[in-house]
A and B are shown apart, each in its own frame.
Chain A
Amino acid sequence: MGGTYTDAVFIHDNHIERTAKVPTQSDNLVETLMEAFDKLAIPDEQALNQITVSTTLVTNAILQNRIPPIEMLLFSGNGMRIDALPWPVSYHELSGEMDFRGRETEPTDPTEWEKLLTLHLRENPANVAIVGKFSHRNSLHEEQLATYLRRINPSLRIAFGHTWGQANFHRRSLTTYLNLGVTDIYYDFAQQLQSAISARKILAPISILKADGGIVPIAKLRPIESIYSGPAASILAALTQNEPTASTIIVDIGGTTTDIGLVLSGVPLLSSKGAKIGPYSTLVRSLAVRSIPVGGDSAIRTTDQGFVLESYRLGPAYCLGGTLPTPTDAMRYLGLIDYGNERLAEEGLATLLPVERRTHECLQELASAIIDSVSEKIAAAVDSLKQEWQEEPAYKVWEVLHPQESHTFQTLVSGGGARGMAVALKKRLKTSVLLGLYPEVSNALGAAMAKPTMDCTLHLDTYMKRYRVEETGEQGTWSGTLRPHREVESFLDTLAQQMAKSYGMTLEDVEKEPFDFFPIVKGYKTVGQIVRGAVHLRPGVIGRIHV
């Protein structure tokens, strides 16, 4: 789903059989989806194996601030001032602190808790988010407060920070808040969609596309993880048209926005930080994508120095009946595309020049300059993305001595402006350029071909006898040895298998990160180990599309 249109694609044996496009009704997404589904006119609906949806539901709910009231209760502890980072939500700070290994350094103070009990919290099924600094190390304080609150009001809906098991108290707090805030909206949607599909006696499971480019069964999604699935879908769509191990710069040129991503030896680059949505920094894993406000329909205005590409759209291109010249008019004038009225393109561009310079030569020059200016903006975003990748921090000697291998990139351009920009991008990016197929349904194509992703990161402290799993927030007791080797490998395997099972997926092509072992020393004696290890099911596609 996009803001304006919703695309659909029906794929059989890696062939695109049907495509469809319908306008998005932002107040009824399920109806929109079913309309697109109907428009595909799939011959034997009941024989479908899989339905995948990429939706803007959660993104829009957040950006339009459709979040119900949530009581945010924080064990914020000492350290950096809490307001050093922006908090777009209000919160209460409570006593109680853990340290970086999950040891309690200050107990909670239940006398403070009584003061929280407004009538709303006492009686209504209110939303409460409880987050503690280092709660991903030890959830004790969060659990204590929840137990207290539930005893007073069992109908409370409580979300815990520790279920987002990565470090970063600020992001963990906002992620917990947002996820709770969109839960109702999402589950209503999921239920309606499931009923609509079930009503047609279709048994195929429904999956949702996540920001990291992976899919997950509709009932298992943590709603916040579905933000930014659109750009992820564009990247996956490109993967379906590529050699499996190619390194590719992906440029998806839309009407007002261009999305840019990187694929390294067949694997899309993940962002090293969690996604940011509106004013909220989160822990949501997402593909590294740059979205820049430039596209085929960007308005162009004259200035003293010539022209400027605006970051907005004011209707369609001049050559398609609009009122302002756009890059699309430049493409049309230069004959790079064949849609739109050629005479109107000329007329539109001419408005950017003084009367005496409205010659063919000057118009040619202007149109080329417009195209170059678009490709310059795209190239700057490509460079910034490459820089992010190359400058990822390294924390080990080995990593510094073995830097990222260099890749020979090709560029895959898709979207409405693809054909018009191909030559200019080839020149500016100095790579070969391929045109993406099916630009009109690339989001749907990417979603349909997406594979499940899964990450299972184990942190084990054998001295504290505690382990935890970053992705689920699971915390447990370790009963194994103080210095495990083989033991910890099979332990992680078991955890990963359990996680996979809970998502109803099988673990194939798993990437295992080498374990890090940190001996814990007390008084010059080794008393235990901290062990970190992870398995990943990286984002990818189930196959290549045959034309």
Chain B
Amino acid sequence: MKRTGILFFPAFDWSLGESHPEREERLLYTQEQLFEEGILDLPQIKQYSPRVATLHQGLRTQAIFPNPGSYKDSLDPHLIAAGSAILLGEARVRGDIANGFVLARPPGHHSGATVWGNRGFCTLNYEAILVNHLRARFGIKKIAIVDTDVHHGDGTQDIFYHDPNVLFISLHQDGRTIYPGTGFVNEKGGPNAWDQTLNIPLPPGTGDEGYLYVLENWVLPRLKAFAPELIINSAGQDNHFTDPLGAMKLTANGYGRITELLRPDLAVLEGGYSIEGALPYVNLAILLALAGEDYHHVHEPQKQDSPALSLAALKPYFEALKHQHQTIQPRFTSQSKTYFPKGKWIYNPHSIYYDTEGFQETRHDYIRECSECGGTVYIESSLSSQKSGLVRIPFQACSACEQAGYDLWDHLHHHSADNANGLLQNQLHDKLTVWNKKEGLSEF
């Protein structure tokens, strides 16, 4: 029997604040709906219980600054969400289930390669942690992530921007109209992973018809061409017409159809804050679609008060967007420091705003251009006066990039005057070393 795994972790005792959208109540009605429908009694559904991810699993993908210890308590719910994704991902890879749904709080897709706190309700990026875990432990090479949250999956993009073996596709409400304000077609990937990031910004008011059109005519062909071993769906539900944060017009049935078309190996809940009008129905539709059951009888009680944009009106927009996407050429700046190992280093300075915490991180990213592998990445990250560094030796790194990584790491913890913390993310050998000016080196 084709089995569908579900890991339902509503974190009923955790919130980002009593009236915060990310609060205890968020999945309460989803639980009521799923239990009342009896969906867990379907013979093909197997429920799993949550697990806590280790810091090793987190640090393999994300640098947690200034150090993981500084978060001790508040990381727990995020580590459970990540651990739950890993548990279901392992079940999928082992063949215990044909697909699965990680229906957990809190969300994660705004959390990037470096983490100083919570932004966009996210602290750890659990799709990304899952993806790298499956690569490290099961030798999986090519994975695609399709992010269908209304917000651009900027954190996931940040983590895999230089990774030629992860295809990241995000469909979202146009960044000019919604948080986090990114995700335009020109963001197509780093020098070694050009065209492995696909952003499709959609105009507010796009409904089922327009969304599914883009999926069938752009996303699915791109996925097919990439031929991934696994497809992960960041299944945010804030495209629903009742969502208080988004301005899209999708229905629960639309989400069922998205799931049916994408056929993800794993769907992972991200955002979605219409906790009564949308979540119980959208979650039900997604789970039914994954389980191969009819979702067409799932109807949210509320009706749309105005129609979605028509496909006729949207088509010219999509055509123009696609044309723009095809014609964009890579433009990278190269720059390096005196102590950098030899090679061509692409430089990308930018800043990241943590809306939940109200502070800004400054980043200087350097990528070693490489025709053989994803290229070693060096990130200088600072929050006010605190400076930290991340050195990432990628999966399947070539020996030149691996050596470049060790050289940079050596410099970081021996000779750099201004850095206080560092992480060596050796994905090639799954070795993680944390450095702290006071405490020295430690392995995770």
Interface residues in chain A, defined as those with a beta carbon under 8 Å from any beta carbon in chain B: 78-81, 84-85, 97, 99-101, 105-106, 133-134, 137, 167-171, 273, 281, 391-398, 400-401, 516-521, 524-526, 530
B38 near A85 (CB under 8 angstroms)?
Answer: yes
Give B13's nearest chain A residue, CB to CB.
A396
Are the CB atoms of A395 and B36 closer together than 8 Å?
A: no
Assess the A530–B28 pair: CB atoms within 8 A.
Answer: yes
Judge whether B49 and A397 touch: CB under 8 Å.
Answer: no
Cα–Cα, bound, A391→B96 (Å): 16
Interface string of B212-255 (1 = CB under 8 A from A): 00000000000000000000000000000000000000000000
Q: Are B39 and A80 in contact (CB under 8 A)?
A: yes
Determine if B19 and A171 form an interchain contact, defined as CB atoms under 8 angstroms apart: no
Q: Is the CB of B10 within 8 A of A78?
A: no
> How close is A211's CB to chain B, nearest CB, in angstroms?
18
Residues in B neighbouring A101, C-beta threshold 8 A: 29, 32, 276
> Closest CB of chain A to B45's CB: distance in Å?
10
A174 to chain B, nearest CB (A): 10
Q: Give the docked Cα–Cα distance between A307 and B35 (Å).
A: 44
Do B24 and A519 touch (CB < 8 A)?
A: yes
Q: Are B50 and A394 in contact (CB under 8 A)?
A: yes
B36 in contact with A100 (CB, 8 Å): yes
Given A167-B35, A397-B76, A519-B18, decide whether A281 and B23 contact each other with a Cβ distance below 8 A: no
CB pair B29–A100 under 8 Å, yes or no, is yes
B293: contacting residue among A81, A100, A170, A171, CB under 8 A: A81
Determine the residue in chain A with the shortest Cβ distance to B15. Answer: A519
A79 vs B24: C-alpha distance in the bound complex, in angstroms?
24
The docked-state distance in angstroms from the alpha carbon of A84 to that of B42 is: 7
Known: A396-B12, A398-B13, A516-B12. A80 touches B25 (CB 8 A): no
Which of A78, A79, A170, A396 is the one whose CB lies under 8 Å from B41? Answer: A170
* A169-B297 contact in complex given A101-B29, A398-B13, A518-B24, C-beta closer than 8 Å: no
Q: Which B residues have a C-beta under 8 Å from some C-beta of A?
A: 8-14, 18-19, 23-25, 28-29, 31-33, 35-39, 41-42, 47-52, 76-77, 80, 276, 280, 284, 288, 293-294, 297-299, 301
Tell me the complex Cα distance, A133–B36, Å. 7
Chain A residue with the shortest CB-CB distance to B48 = A391
What is the distance, in angstroms, from A220's C-beta to the closest C-beta of chain B? Answer: 27
A85 touches B52 (CB 8 A): no
A519 lies within 8 A of B48 (CB): no
Other-chain contact of A80, B11, B23, B76, B298 (Cβ < 8 Å) = B298
Chain B residues lying within 8 Å of A398, measured Cβ to Cβ, are: 13
State in angstroms the CA–CA spacing of A524 and B18 once bound together.
Answer: 9
- A contact residues around B276 at 8 Å (CB): 99-101
B32 close to A100 (CB less than 8 A): yes
The distance in angstroms between the C-alpha atoms of A170 and B49, with both chains bound, is: 23
Separation of A132 and B80 alpha carbons in the complex (Å) = 36
* A521: B residues at CB distance < 8 A: 18-19, 23, 25
Give me the 6 closest cross-chain CB pairs, A-B, nearest first: A100-B32, A167-B35, A105-B301, A170-B38, A396-B13, A78-B299
Chain A nearest CB, measured from B54 CB (Å): 14
Given A80-B37, A133-B36, 8 more A-B residue pairs with CB atoms under 8 Å apart are A81-B297, A84-B42, A84-B294, A100-B276, A394-B49, A395-B10, A401-B52, A526-B19
Q: Which chain B positions have C-beta within 8 A of A391?
A: 48-49
Do the beta carbons of A168 and B52 come within 8 Å of each other?
Answer: no
Chain B residues with Cβ below 8 Å from A170 are 38, 41
Closest Cβ–Cβ distance, residue B44 to chain A (whole Å)? 10
Contact A168 B36 (CB under 8 A): yes
A530 and B32 alpha carbons, distance in the complex (Å): 13
B306 to chain A, nearest CB (A): 20
Q: Inside 8 A of A169's CB, which chain B residues have their CB?
A: 36-38
Chain B residues lying within 8 Å of A105, measured Cβ to Cβ, are: 301
Q: Contacts A80-B293, A81-B294, A171-B38 hold; do A519 and B25 have CB atoms under 8 A apart?
A: yes
Highest count of chain A CB atoms <10 Å: which of B32, B51, B76, B276: B32
Q: Which of B35, B47, B80, B298 contacts A400 (CB 8 A)?
A: B80
**Shortest Cβ distance from A97 into chain B, in angstroms?**
8
B49 x A393 contact (CB < 8 A)? yes
Are B23 and A134 in touch, CB under 8 angstroms?
Answer: no
CA distance A418 to B276 in the complex (A): 55
- What chain A residues lie within 8 Å of B35 (beta carbons)? 167-168
Hey, which chain A residues are within 8 Å of B19, CB to CB?
A: 519, 521, 524-526
Q: With a CB–CB cut-off of 8 A, which chain A residues contact B38? A: 80, 85, 168-171, 281
Q: How far does the alpha carbon of A78 sit from the alpha carbon of B35 in the complex, in Å?
A: 14
Beta-carbon contact of B301 and A99 below 8 Å: yes
Bound-state Cα–Cα, A395 to B27, Å = 10
Q: Is there an interface contact between A526 and B50, defined as CB atoms closer than 8 Å?
A: no
On whether the beta carbons of A79 and B37 are closer than 8 Å, the reply is yes
Partner of B49, one of A137, A171, A392, A516: A392
Beta-carbon contact of A530 and B33 below 8 Å? no
Q: Is the CB of B80 within 8 A of A167?
A: no
Bound-state Cα–Cα, A273 to B40, Å: 10
Considering the chains assembled together, what is the distance between the CA atoms of A79 and B297 in angstroms?
Answer: 5
Chain A residues positioned under 8 Å from B42 (CB to CB):
84-85
Q: Are B288 and A80 in contact (CB under 8 A)?
A: yes
Which of B23, B25, B47, B298 is packed against the most chain A CB atoms within 10 Å?
B25
CB<8 Å pairs between A and B, sample of 27: A78-B297, A79-B37, A80-B37, A80-B39, A80-B294, A99-B301, A137-B32, A167-B35, A168-B38, A170-B38, A170-B41, A281-B41, A391-B49, A394-B50, A395-B31, A396-B14, A397-B11, A397-B13, A397-B76, A401-B76, A519-B18, A519-B25, A521-B18, A521-B23, A521-B25, A530-B25, A530-B28
Complex-state Cα separation, A99 to B37, whole angstroms: 11
Which B residues are in CB contact (< 8 Å) with A281? 38, 41
A168-B36, A169-B36, A400-B50 given; A79·B23 CB < 8 A? no
Q: Once bound together, how far apart are the Cα atoms of A516 and B11, in whole Å?
A: 12
**Complex-state Cα separation, A125 to B394, whole angstroms:** 76
Residues in B neighbouring A97, C-beta threshold 8 A: 301
Inter-chain CA distance A81–B297, complex, in Å, is 7
Nearest chain A CB to B325's CB is how many angstroms away? 38
CA distance A100 to B284 in the complex (A): 13
Q: A158 CA to B393 CA in the complex, in Å?
A: 70
Does B12 lie within 8 Å of A395, measured CB to CB?
yes
Closest to A100 in B: B32
> Which of chain B's residues has its CB closest to A276's CB?
B41
Which of B38, B47, B288 is packed against the most chain A CB atoms within 10 Å?
Answer: B38
Residue of B nearest to A390 (CB): B49
Residues of B within 8 A of A134 (CB): 32, 36
CA of A39 to CA of B50 in the docked complex: distance in angstroms? 54
Query: How far is the CB of A103 from the nearest CB of chain B, in Å?
Result: 8
For the complex, what is the distance from the CA of A106 to the CA of B299, rounded to whole Å? 12
A-chain residues with CB within 8 Å of residue B294 when the two chains form the complex: 80-81, 84
User: Smallest Cβ distance from A407 to chain B, in angstroms?
Assistant: 18
User: Is B77's CB under 8 angstroms from A397's CB?
Assistant: yes
How far apart sit A524 and B28, CA to CA, in the bound complex (Å)? 17
Which residues of chain A come closer than 8 Å to B24, judged between CB atoms?
Answer: 517-519
